[in-house]
Structure 1
């Protein structure tokens, strides 16, 4: 699947150290966590974990994007989350059933940090700093999940797309342009939409001056987009 002998460069180390899981660790706690990890590269489309597979590790994305999803019995898939650089996934398995409840697939070539679950669990039981780091990460994921559920129920598809665009606009008013960091199919999954629903949402936003060319999204008036 990947190469586990990769070393952290300065950029990747900076991404890792800014994660909620690692940010508050110092001294011996930090040394212990660094000893529990390895770094590997994963090629685009490769599966990192499979649903039902015995859970042995959780991961931090250093670069690239990882798609978490489930499959129905008839083969239909549903995205759970798109993990971006600085995101972790799979740490819920520290204190849960020992089988992954999702598939994780590299959307493009990725660099990942792999943490051994049992090692981290043992460290958390003996080190209060690591225990707090685990609880902080799990709490953030719970809040994020609640936000996703609320957004799905409170906002229409065009509003979800508009909110995503607005969160990345460099200005509060006037014209703006943003570039999607990934394919539109990943954006659809991130927003809980089918690709067809995403296309319809973009079409409905044209009346507010939103145009899409490839990965470039142009907005005529950011303030007008806020008012939909």
Structure 2
């Protein structure tokens, strides 16, 4: 089972029982096999997809069939939330990576429920904001950061999601998918992992092992620092938020 299994979906945060009951009453729980294409570019989305278990990817393709992965989604993540409110056809494809169980929340219901429940509306805004921030980091990475910086930042994200004190974690997706998401070829991704091994990081297949829980901290930025359990603590002198506060070490 994924280490992220059963994490509470952000769109359900702080909702009361009545609101949750209304959502479930109007939604459908559905199982999908790996490889199933849920949405194609140009489709009008009829549902918001919430991952109960399994994984999805959102992507764009060109006329030659080449694909660029926009997002890699795990248990508790959702997609189509932004597209529902954009209106018009979907600019992305959505495909099942591993066998998945999804909660399908009708688009029309989502639009009416945000008017009836301000907390649900707030949650949707937070989710869309997170997507926006993720897209900015993706653009920033491809435009400005080196392959080592991109891969290091991604590994630090995974490390923080798996708890800061853990000294090892598993890559949640195939390396080829992560490479596409980071805007590089699988070969470049493999070479970059080899370079990162010289920084106190051991890569054994899909397992990432660190010498200590701070081995990836030099890839940190204020956004990641906000989700780190060591934020502004003196045991992590490289913390960007600690540095911003004037800490001299």
Please give the per-residue CA displacement for 1:203-226, whole angstroms capped at 9, x wherever unaligned. 222333444332122344665654
Residue 212 of structure 1 pairs with residue 206 of structure 2: no
Once the two structures are TM-superposed, the CA of residue 30 in structure 1 deviates from its matched residue by 2.4
> CA separation in 2, counterparts of 1:200 and 1:64?
29
Whole-Å Cα distance in 1 between the matches of residues 210 and 29 of structure 2? 39
Q: Distance in 1 between matches of 2:111 and 2:30?
A: 21
Match of 2:36 in 1: 46
The two structures have a TM-score, normalised by structure 2, of: 0.74
Residue of structure 2 aligned with 1:81, choices 43, 66, 71: 71
Deviation at 1:78, TM superposition (A): 0.5
Superposition CA RMSD, Å = 2.8
2:119 pairs with 129, 134, 149, which one? 129
Mapped to 2, the partners of 1:171 and 1:126 lie a distance apart of: 36
Q: Are the aligned partners of 2:201 and 2:215 in contact in 1 as well (CA < 8 Å)?
A: no
Shift of 1:53: 1.5
- Structure 2 gaps of 5+ residues are 220-249
Normalising to structure 1: TM-score of the pair?
0.80
Match for residue 20 of structure 1?
10
Distance across 1 between alignment mates of 2:52 and 2:31: 10
Question: Is contact 2:33–2:98 with CA below 8 Å preserved after alignment?
Answer: yes
Instruction: Give the Å deviation of 1:81.
Output: 0.5
Matched residue count: 214
Partner residue in 2 for 1:162: 152
- Identify the range of structure 1 (207-216 vs 54-63) with the bigger mean alpha-carbon deviation: 207-216
